[in-house]
Amino acid sequence: MSLKRTTYLPIASIVIVIVILAVLFGISSFRDIERGRQQVSDVLDRQARLVAASVGAGVRASLVAPHWDRARLAFMLEEAAADDDIAHLAILDVDGRIVEHSDPSLVGRTWTGLDSIDPTAPGPHVARRIIERGGRTIHEFAVVLLPFGRRGPGPASGPRRRRMPHGLPDLDVARERLSELLGRELTPEEPLGIVLVVGLDSTDLDAAFLASRNHTFAMSGILLLVGAVATYFLFLVANYRSVRTALANMRSYTTNVIESMGSGLVSVDPDARVVTVNSRARSLLGLSSHDIAGKSVDDVLSFDADAARAAVYGVMSGASDALETEATIVGRDGAAIPVALAVSSMRDEEGERSGTVVIFQDLREIEALKEEVERERHLASLGRLAAGVAHEVRNPLSSLKGFAQFLRSKFAPGSEEERYADIMIEEVERLDRVVQELLDFAKPARPDRRASGTNDIIEEALALVTDDALYKNVTIVREFGEGLPPVFVDPDQIKQALLNVLLNAIEAMPDGGTLTVATGVEDGAPADCVTLAVADTGSGIAPGEIEKLYEPFYTTKSGGTGLGLTVVSRVVEQNGGHIGVSSAAGEGTTFSLRLPVAAARPTAESAGEES
């Protein structure tokens, strides 16, 4: 997901959630307000019913009282209207004319809003309206009162009299009094009914409703604000956790990449303090993790030349942005390590320098490979030269040997001349051996590799040197490993190479000693090879001479050709192995031959390589 999308997505989500909360709170507030308005209406309705019932009882009592007094009825309305919640009371006829009012000045006027009045309607409320008077809100309820019910003489039954309970005047008397009150004669068919108007002052209820409504709005706003803030913080926390997780993953990934690099990496801050050193750099420089934190770059990277240090500091100081060169760094153990060096500046988003990164590649293997290639090239040149010389020398040697043998046959046995002829023949044969070594060196035979037993090859070679060892008082010690896998080599070539190494070891102990031959899997060596070691107790080899042992024509023996170990090295390498030597002056020498295991190099594969 892109950065822009991740930025807009939480904002859109927050807006959507806030809108949903606003709609929910709006609906809830509207329902609460409507409920409050309905409660006000219900309260007024119940209050109007109670007032109507009370006034209706008083009107009925006045109409059936033994002594009729209209002024008494008017006084009752005035007293009832004196209540703070009752604005006024009025008695109307069915035409809306006011016949009695708590305010006597309004008697005789017409009360509008009674178009739908039906005195016979079963419901108590026939009309309702809201008026404003003197800054007050008045709810007027028009109520039909039937003080004596709907019973009365109908037109079919004819006139008849009905006595009221407890000796009160009958309905005819009540009809006369009600006719007087209404100002017109009521017919026997008309019900004895009047219209009572109750005006209720809703100022207090409206104030309470407004206060409740404002409180609802305030609480809804507060809850909406709290919900919006909570939603924002929830998204903020979720985004923070997401960013923190992404940063942790990125940091872990970057660390893994840096630690997995095959090159050494050192990063420093603008103050030349070390920040990061990967595992490869620590291994090359011989450092541990606690040797790094807060150290100066000079404490970590040490160059053998001031020019290289100055070039690196030039990049760190900002004099240049990048540097690529070859240099030599010095490890913690003092070893000089040739490296390919790449130094570049790090910059932040504003383009300001934030540090420097130094990457270096160990060139020791590459240098060794270059030396090996150069050595092979040199050996190839020498081989071509040796082959030409050998062919040119071998033919005259054959002639010289033939003439020497002919002359020897002409001399008397035991004569001085015969002895000279024998010396000539021996020297010619020695030269012939040298020529043969030159030919072996120039064009070694192609190995016929197959699975072979390491211990068997050694036993065959030891059988050829046993007499020489006994003659020179050398004891042979066998330390053969058991259960070793077969090696994939040419057994004849390896036996010849091993024979050369054994003879050299015996010659290195002219006063006698111990020749130890061991086989096994060496610790630290590849698991797909078997190690064959030949150790003597001779005088050893000087450190300066070890590097020259495999060079053609280099020898420390009088009468040696200097080609033996060179041929041994080439034979071992052609068979997929490796030869090494360790020695200390006065402690003897050990040659180690590492030969490939047959299981690691299948015959079919190798046959394909050889073809």
CATH code reported for the domain at 11-151+159-208:
3.30.450.20
The rounded distance, in Å, linking the Cα atoms of 308 and 298 is: 12
Overall average pLDDT of the 500-513 stretch: 87
Q: pLDDT tens, 460-497?
A: 988 888 888 888 898 999 999 888 889 999 898 888 88
% of the chain surpassing 90 pLDDT:
2
198 contacts 48 by C-beta, under 8 angstroms: yes
8-state DSSP, 520: E
Residues linked to residue 266 through DSSP beta bridges, in sequence order? 277, 358
Most confident of 195-199, 321-325, 378-382, 516-520: 516-520
pLDDT score, position 73: 81
Sign of the Cα torsion 23, 24, 27, 28 reads negative
Among 161-175, 252-266, 299-313, 326-340, the least confident range: 161-175
| pLDDT at residue 398 tops 80 | no
8-state DSSP, 289: G
pLDDT score, position 1: 43
Determine phi and psi for 157, rounding to 5 degrees. -85, -15
Q: What is the DSSP string of 108-167?
A: T-B----TT--TT-SSSEEEEEEEEETTEEEEEEEEEE-TTTT----TTT-----PPGGG
| Six-digit token string for 75 | 């006084």
pLDDT score, position 140: 85
Fold of 262-362: Beta-Lactamase (3.30.450)
Buried b (16+ CB within 10 A) or exposed e, 5-33: eeeeeeeeebeebbeebeeebeeebeebe
pLDDT score, position 56: 80
Confidence of residue 160 (pLDDT cuts 50, 70, 90): very low
Q: Strand 125-133 relative to strand 136-145: parallel, antiparallel, unpaired? A: antiparallel
Name the CA radius of gyration of the chain, rounded. 63
Q: pLDDT tens, 210-239?
A: 888 888 888 888 888 888 888 888 888 888
pLDDT score, position 516: 92
| Six-digit token string for 234 | 């929830």
- Ramachandran quadrant class, 355 (left: phi over 0; alpha: psi -120 to 50; beta: rest): left
Among 108-112, 208-212, 547-551, 573-577, the least confident range: 547-551
Q: How many CA atoms lie within 13 A of 267 on its CB side?
A: 14
| Six-digit token string for 228 | 């919006």
Confidence of residue 517 (pLDDT cuts 50, 70, 90): very high
Buried b (16+ CB within 10 A) or exposed e, 59-95: bbebbbeeebeeeebbebbeebbeeeebbbbbbbbbe
Could you give the maximum distance between any two Cα atoms of the chain, in Å? 200
Q: Higher-confidence residue: 8 or 416?
A: 416
The rounded distance, in Å, linking the Cα atoms of 591 and 502 is: 10
Q: pLDDT tens, 41-80?
A: 888 888 888 888 888 888 777 777 777 777 888 888 888 8
% of the chain surpassing 70 pLDDT:
79
Q: pLDDT tens, 327-352?
A: 888 877 778 888 888 888 888 878 78
Q: Where are the domains of the chain?
A: 11-151+159-208, 262-362, 368-442, 450-610
The rounded distance, in Å, linking the Cα atoms of 16 and 11 is: 9
pLDDT score, position 380: 67
CATH architecture, domain defined by 450-610: 2-Layer Sandwich (3.30)
Tell me the whole-structure pTM to 2 decimals: 0.44
Confidence of residue 611 (pLDDT cuts 50, 70, 90): very low
pLDDT score, position 563: 64
Overall average pLDDT of the 391-397 stretch: 70
One fold for 11-151+159-208 and 450-610: no
pLDDT score, position 562: 60
| pLDDT at residue 192 tops 70 | no
Residue matched to tokens 């994939």:
488
The whole-chain average pLDDT of the chain stands at 77
pLDDT score, position 157: 37
Overall average pLDDT of the 425-438 stretch: 73
Among 1-10, 14-23, 560-569, the least confident range: 1-10
Residue ranges in 415-482 assigned as alpha helix (H): 416-442, 454-471
The rounded distance, in Å, linking the Cα atoms of 592 and 299 is: 38
Among 344-353, 379-388, 571-580, 602-611, the least confident range: 602-611
Q: Strand 487-489 relative to strand 450-452: parallel, antiparallel, unpaired? A: antiparallel
Alpha carbon 194 to its chain's center: 87
Most confident of 94-98, 144-148, 536-540: 536-540
Confidence of residue 161 (pLDDT cuts 50, 70, 90): very low
Fold of 368-442: Helix Hairpins (1.10.287)
